[in-house]
A and B are shown apart, each in its own frame.
Chain A
Amino acid sequence: MRSNARSGFTMLEVALSITLLAIVTVKISGAISSATDVAEEDAAQVTLETQARRVLRQIGFAVMGSHPGSLVPDITRPNSTSDLRFQVSLGVEDGEVVWSEPEMVAMEELQQQIYWSDNPEAADERRVIWTNLVAPFLEGELPNGLDDNGNGLIDEKGLSFTIDRNSVDMKLTLERVRDDGTVVHSTVETVVTCRNTINGWGTAER
């Protein structure tokens, strides 16, 4: 009997234990929940950033092989464009440099897409979607005729190009709306210089 009595708990002990357990569980659950939220947000951010960097690198390497004279439109700060046409060098044939058909990297606003296009606006145009998370405007920018985000550009789109001599400055914002309605952004930017700067572009084969 003595042993039975010693092995039991008083109601107070049980109530106290349950209360403490409940408090700890709630706290831990809360911590886990918020940590999971943070993790999800981080994961979304990581995915978005990785995607943004890859797309921008892809655009950069594509434009790098072009001739600066082939860049259309030739647009400089504070204006920018979200559609850039260019022609890259394909090699040399019969003593002449051969240039590609016009290519274009552009933003499709409605679909929130960035696509690469071969021979744009032609009957045989081919498009490849490079990402579909592009924001309508660059992070912090509003369509109000002002430079809201202080980057020197006015009303720049989620994908924006500006040209400075042989260089192309490119900026990109990807965004994703989470289940809870919050929006995750990732903005990246880079500059590439066109490498094919041979003379006589105006007379080159197009």
Chain B
Amino acid sequence: MAESPASTAGGAVPEEETRRDFLYLATGAVGTVGVLAAAWPLVHQMNPSADVLALSTTEVDLSGIEEGQSITVVWRGKPVFVRHRTAAEISAAEGAAMADLKDPQPDSERAQRPQWLILVGVCTHFGCIPLGQQGDYDGWFCPCHGSHYDTSGRIRKGPAPTNLVVPRYEFRDDTTILIG
């Protein structure tokens, strides 16, 4: 019944209302589902692979870290500062007024146990690694653009918009934490 698509000058297809047959609709729908289903693996293969996911947690032994000492471990390819804070650092962190903070957050939310501070050592401005126990607040100082973080890793001065990230971690026992 349908006439074969006629060649028209200029190639423009005339806009006609054609009655869509159920068969064509069904075939088209099933075909579309197939194409989308086939596309998913192509997209998903770029997501982190099993071996990368397996390394998404890191265990850290705290027993060697003296008070006032920090170590840096690698977690998911990034540096993580693990600091055994001094009493002075803890009281400075706990005593800060929320009104003074660009990104207000009490120290108790950032450290599960006050003497241990775990931070992702990546500046929240453009990603440089801040230097420890430097800057105006005795916390961290980022040399790239001059951000100052306090003894809780909170941004106090400088261009960084948010506090240093506290990764997910838990205490396996008193001397071992699992990050991630």
The answer to whether A and B belong to the same complex is no
